[in-house]
């Protein structure tokens, strides 16, 4: 069976954009198969730290795959998943749909931001060759540090 990780290493990360498109936090250059939970741990810790985020009414909008523990309730807002609206009490559905639409609208800024980042840094879409791979030059190697 073929495994794509045998021949190249992809760089992953988590980026948090402000509503105006400014990057306010990021962790990048995580070579290999990292998931959102690993790359965003530092960010989630800062969200809970009153030194960095003193106003508990401020929160982050993310996609529904972003890791949310019970300690993050109220700090990370995600859109509803398919079928979630039907599980809510009928008196809450209108408000939930309104919040879902607002979250989806705000997330569009992040999607546009990522599009801008990819255009400016088009090399982000290129796989990095792992050390020792045939045809890899020294500047293409991912350092193990």
* Residue 85 resides in a domain: yes
Q: Give 10-residue mean pLDDT values along the chain (145 residues).
A: 50 73 74 66 85 82 76 83 90 93 81 66 60 55 45
Residue 102: inside a domain: yes
Compute the distance between CA of residue 60 and CA of residue 82 in angstroms, rounded to an integer: 21
Q: Is residue 130 assigned to a domain?
A: no
CA atoms within 13 A on the CB side of 93: 9
Q: How many domains does the chain have?
A: 1
**What is the model's pLDDT at position 33?**
57
Residue 127 lies inside a defined structural domain of this protein: no
Question: 82: domain range?
Answer: 8-122
In a domain, 133, yes or no: no
Does a structural domain hold residue 139?
A: no
**Is 101 a domain residue?**
yes
Phi, psi angle pair for 96, to nearest 5°: -65, -40
The contacts found for 43-47 with CB under 8 angstroms, 24 or more apart, are 43/14, 43/16, 44/69, 44/72, 44/75, 44/76, 47/72, 47/75, 47/76
In a domain, 128, yes or no: no
Q: What global pTM score does this model have?
A: 0.58
Tell me, what's the pLDDT at 60?
Answer: 83
């Amino acid at each position: 069976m073929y495994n794509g990780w045998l021949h190249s290493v992809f760089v992953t990360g988590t980026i948090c954009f402000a509503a105006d498109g400014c990057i306010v936090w990021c962790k990048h250059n995580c070579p290999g198969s990292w998931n959102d939970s690993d790359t965003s741990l530092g960010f989630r810790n800062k969200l809970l730290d009153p030194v960095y985020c003193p106003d508990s009414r401020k929160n982050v909008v993310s996609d529904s795959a972003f890791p949310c523990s019970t300690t993050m309730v109220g700090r990370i807002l995600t859109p509803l998943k398919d079928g979630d609206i039907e599980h809510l009490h009928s008196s809450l559905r209108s408000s939930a749909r309104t919040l879902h639409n607002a979250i989806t609208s705000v997330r569009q800024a992040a999607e546009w931001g990522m599009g801008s980042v990819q255009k400016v840094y088009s090399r982000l879409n290129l796989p990095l060759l792992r050390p020792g791979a045939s045809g890899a030059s020294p500047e293409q190697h991912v350092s193990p540090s």
